[in-house]
């Protein structure tokens, strides 16, 4: 299950309590998070500003942080364990890019990709999203992005 804070913290907390299996939180917009919620999260996804505004994330099990044109990184208990460069793209529309990144990252991780490769795939999906004028672009299947990325460099 992938939740975001725009639906409200009480609803997200209840979803976390009821969800079976893998639980991911896109902690946007940034706010203080209850310990119960952080402990339930298998993964928290934030941008660099949100990471700075939520100090408790430094102790979270697993956090993905996006840096826009500078790529993304994965942290375990505050220690960087993986990173991937951004895909070069002309930015046309940023609406929905974070959602596209989040969905792609979760799918990539759950399909068995390691952190670096999963970040590279999610970066490529996010790049396609910001390069499209639509706020809900018609993106390719995840396999397209997996094939497009190279384990050595993150992008082909």
Q: Is 35 helix (H, G, I), strand (E, B) or coil?
A: helix
Whether 18 is in a domain gets the answer yes
- The answer to pTM > 0.85 is yes
Domain total in the chain: 1
Strand partners, 79: 76
pLDDT of residue 151: 63
Q: Across 23-131, where does the E strand assignment appear?
A: 24-26, 43-47, 63-66, 72-76, 79-84
Pairing of strands 63-66, 72-76: antiparallel
Whether 77 is in a domain gets the answer yes
Strand partners, 40: none
Query: pLDDT tens per residue, the chain (156 residues)?
Result: 999 999 999 999 999 999 999 999 999 999 999 999 999 999 999 999 999 999 999 999 999 999 998 999 999 999 999 999 998 888 888 788 899 999 999 999 999 999 999 999 999 999 999 888 777 888 888 888 998 886 654 443
* Omega within 30 of 0 (cis) for the link into 16: no
Whether 153 is in a domain gets the answer no
If you search the block for the tokens 């804070």, which residue do you land on?
5
Whether 125 is in a domain gets the answer yes
Whether 154 is in a domain gets the answer no
Whether 155 is in a domain gets the answer no
pLDDT of residue 11: 97
Give the domain extent around 36: 2-148
- CATH number for the domain harbouring residue 93: 3.40.1190.20
- The answer to whether the Cα torsion of 11, 115, 121, 49 is positive or negative is positive
Q: How many CA atoms lie within 13 A of 19 on its CB side?
A: 18
């Amino acid at each position: 299950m992938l939740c975001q804070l725009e639906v409200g913290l009480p609803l997200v907390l209840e979803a976390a309590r009821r969800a079976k299996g893998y639980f991911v939180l896109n902690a946007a917009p940034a706010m203080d998070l209850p310990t119960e919620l952080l402990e339930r999260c298998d993964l928290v996804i934030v941008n660099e500003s949100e990471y700075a505004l939520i100090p408790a994330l430094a102790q979270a099990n697993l956090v993905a942080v996006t840096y826009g044109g500078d790529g993304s990184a994965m942290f375990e208990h505050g220690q960087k364990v993986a990173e991937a460069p951004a895909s070069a793209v002309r930015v046309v529309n940023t609406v929905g890019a974070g959602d596209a990144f989040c969905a792609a990252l979760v799918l990539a991780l759950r399909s068995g990709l390691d952190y670096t490769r999963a970040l590279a795939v999610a970066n490529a999906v996010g790049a396609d999203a910001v390069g499209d004028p639509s706020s809900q672009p018609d993106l390719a299947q995840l396999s397209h992005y997996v094939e497009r990325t190279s384990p050595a460099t993150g992008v082909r």
